[in-house]
């Protein structure tokens, strides 16, 4: 076998996504970047095809294709448009997944089904002006008032904010307890009084996505909208990001594969014209280096994603997950996210050099893919933070024999 193999239903699903990308994503990929808009017609199509809820169980209207199905979609879409892949990733990785893992039966019936079957869009608000990498420093507060919580504060850089109906947000409910019991996650609906979406950010890349502030001004949220239990918000956030960044590596893999394909096309075309490009060793090496890294990334990505799939299924079925498993998973997803996002960045840089001035021009896709790709090194935890997770685990795990489970 020269290629990774997948079960027939996932191979079939990959073909479906490829056809969709060919017919519906490629035609808008440049325009949504240059005109900076979210293509809502395409977003609705993603919903109709089930792509916005792939791992969710079928009993809640999901496609039940697990994290591997979700990764396949990110990889195929990522080859062409990181904007569209980011919309899918923010919806599934950051909202659908925590809902089916941590949601109560009522929350799943109401919110998960709305996301899987009623065309609703989700967003996840954790980051604040003083709490990016250091998410434990969030300052948004939620104060209990009878059977409601009153939220005050705000979030920044929330993907999908301008198009979302359902928001998972994090607030401090007990400042004395910090991350161990002091933070709670809430499900907030678009129309809740006291909640509004702020201004849209202008960005270097993924310009076909909405990124905006969330503002809470005495926003009342019923207690039944607490996700994962009062005081468990940091656990919800970390579990979401630990797994999410693993599957996100599939998107980076797609970006690297997509640009490699463009490099090869270009070199063959140019080579036919000038008879030289094909034999230029520096060009060949750039292609060979990218091919080596893509090949290695494929195995890393799908092994990691399979582990995330196992992890989430254990959590959703309320089975015990050992601390050892969680820590290994966390290291593995950090490695996949940091390594493959940097593979994508290096591939983009090589492509720009190979294409020369054509790579630098707007409209041909290379400069857009270059700008779009960099974000994967930043969101869901920067690559510096991933290196910290990896090193901390390698150095310290096992040093203290008595660890709580």
Catalytic residue ranges:
380
Residue of the chain from 158, 184, 210, 290 that contacts ligand FAD (CB under 6 A): 158
The CA angle 301-307-310, to the nearest 5 degrees, is 140
Q: Which stretch binds ligand FAD (CB under 6 A): 101-109, 218-226, 294-302, 377-385?
A: 377-385
Q: What is residue 55's three-state secondary structure? A: coil
Pick 61 or 381: Cβ nearer ligand FAD? 381
3 state SS of 337 = helix
Using the rule CB under 6 A, give the single segment among 43-51, 178-186, 292-300, 381-389 that binds ligand FAD. Answer: 381-389
Q: Does 25 help bind ligand FAD (rule: CB under 6 A)?
A: no
Alpha helices in 21-51 (DSSP H): 26-34, 40-48
**Quick check: 125 binds ligand FAD (CB under 6 A)?**
yes
Cα separation, 223 vs 44, whole angstroms: 31
In whole angstroms, what is the distance from residue 27 CA to residue 14 CA? 19
- Scanning 18-26, 153-161, 280-288, 293-301 for contacts with ligand FAD by CB under 6 A, the matching segment is 153-161
Nearer to ligand FAD, 163 or 294 (CB): 163
Q: Confirm or reject binding of residue 385 to ligand FAD (CB under 6 A).
A: yes
Is 388 a binding residue for ligand FAD by CB under 6 A? The answer is yes
Candidates 7-15, 66-74, 119-127, 137-145 — which segment interacts with ligand FAD by CB under 6 A?
A: 119-127
Burial class (CB in 10 A: 0-12, 13-18, 19+), 2: exposed
Among 100, 149, 157, 234, binds ligand FAD (CB under 6 A): 157
- Does residue 214 touch ligand FAD according to CB under 6 A? no
Q: Does position 362 bind ligand FAD by CB under 6 A?
A: no
Q: Which is nearer to ligand FAD, 37 or 388 (CB)?
A: 388
The residue nearest ligand FAD at its CB is 132
Following DSSP, what letter does each residue of 61-114 receive, concatenated? T----HHHHHHHHHHHHHTT-HHHHHHHHHHIIIIIHHHHHH--HHHIIIIIHH
Contact status, residue 159 vs residue 211, Cβ threshold 8 Å: yes
Sign for the pseudo-dihedral over CA of 23, 24, 26, 31: positive
Which segments within 160-295 are labelled E, that is strand? 166-172, 183-189, 195-200, 211-222, 226-227
Taking the complex as a whole, how short is the minimal distance between the CB of residue 291 and ligand FAD, in angstroms?
29
Nearest to 150 by CA among 218, 231, 227: 218
CB of 353 to ligand FAD, least distance (A): 25
Kindly write out the interface string for residues 191-210 of this chain, putting x where it contacts ligand FAD by CB under 6 A and - elsewhere.
------------x--x----
Q: Is 159 in the site for ligand FAD (CB under 6 A)?
A: yes
Q: In the range 67-96, which residues lie near ligand FAD by CB under 6 A?
A: 90
Does 231 interact with ligand FAD (rule: CB under 6 A)? Answer: no
Instruction: Please tell me whether residue 211 binds ligand FAD under the rule CB under 6 A.
Output: yes
Using the CB atoms, write b or e for 13-29: b if 16+ within 10 Å: bbeebeebbeebbeebb
| Residues lying near ligand FAD in the complex (CB under 6 A) | 90, 124-127, 132-133, 157-159, 203, 206, 211, 375, 378-379, 381-382, 384-385, 388
């Amino acid at each position: 076998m020269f290629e990774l193999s997948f079960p027939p239903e996932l191979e079939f699903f990959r073909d479906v996504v490829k056809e969709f990308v060919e017919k519906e994503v490629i035609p808008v990929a440049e325009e949504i970047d240059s005109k900076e808009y979210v293509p809502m017609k395409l977003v609705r199509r993603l919903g109709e095809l089930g792509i916005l809820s792939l791992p969710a169980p079928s009993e809640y209207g999901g496609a039940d294709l697990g994290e591997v199905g979700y990764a396949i979609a990110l990889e195929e879409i990522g080859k062409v448009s990181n904007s569209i892949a980011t919309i899918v990733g923010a919806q599934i990785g950051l909202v659908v997944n925590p809902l089916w893992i941590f949601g109560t039966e009522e929350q799943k019936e109401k919110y998960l089904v709305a996301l899987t079957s009623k065309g609703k869009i989700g967003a996840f608000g954790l980051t604040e002006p003083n709490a990016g990498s250091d998410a434990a420093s969030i300052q948004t507060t939620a104060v209990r008032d009878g059977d409601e919580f009153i939220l005050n504060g705000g979030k920044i850089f929330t993907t999908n904010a301008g198009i979302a109906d359902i928001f998972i947000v994090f607030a401090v409910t007990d400042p004395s307890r910090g991350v161990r019991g002091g933070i709670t996650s809430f499900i907030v609906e678009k129309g809740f009084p006291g909640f509004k979406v702020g201004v849209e950010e202008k960005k270097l890349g993924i310009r076909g996505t909405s990124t905006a502030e969330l503002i809470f001004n005495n926003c009342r949220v019923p207690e039944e909208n607490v996700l994962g239990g009062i005081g468990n918000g940091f656990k919800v956030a970390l579990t979401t990001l630990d797994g999410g960044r693993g599957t996100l590596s599939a998107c980076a893999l797609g970006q690297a594969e997509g640009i490699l394909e463009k490099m090869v096309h270009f070199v063959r075309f140019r080579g036919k014209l000038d008879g030289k490009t094909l034999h230029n060793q520096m060009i060949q090496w750039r292609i060979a280096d990218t091919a080596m890294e893509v090949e290695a990334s494929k195995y890393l990505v799908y092994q990691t994603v399979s582990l995330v799939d196992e992890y989430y299924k254990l959590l959703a079925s309320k089975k015990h997950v050992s601390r050892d498993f969680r820590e290994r998973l966390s290291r593995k997803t950090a490695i996949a996210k940091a390594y493959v996002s940097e593979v994508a960045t290096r591939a983009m840089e090589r492509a720009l050099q190979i294409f020369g001035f054509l790579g630098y021009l707007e409209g041909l896709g290379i400069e857009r893919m270059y700008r779009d790709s960099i974000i994967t090194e930043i969101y869901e935890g920067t690559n510096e933070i991933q290196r910290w997770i990896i090193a901390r685990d390698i150095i310290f795990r096992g040093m203290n024999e008595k660890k709580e489970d």
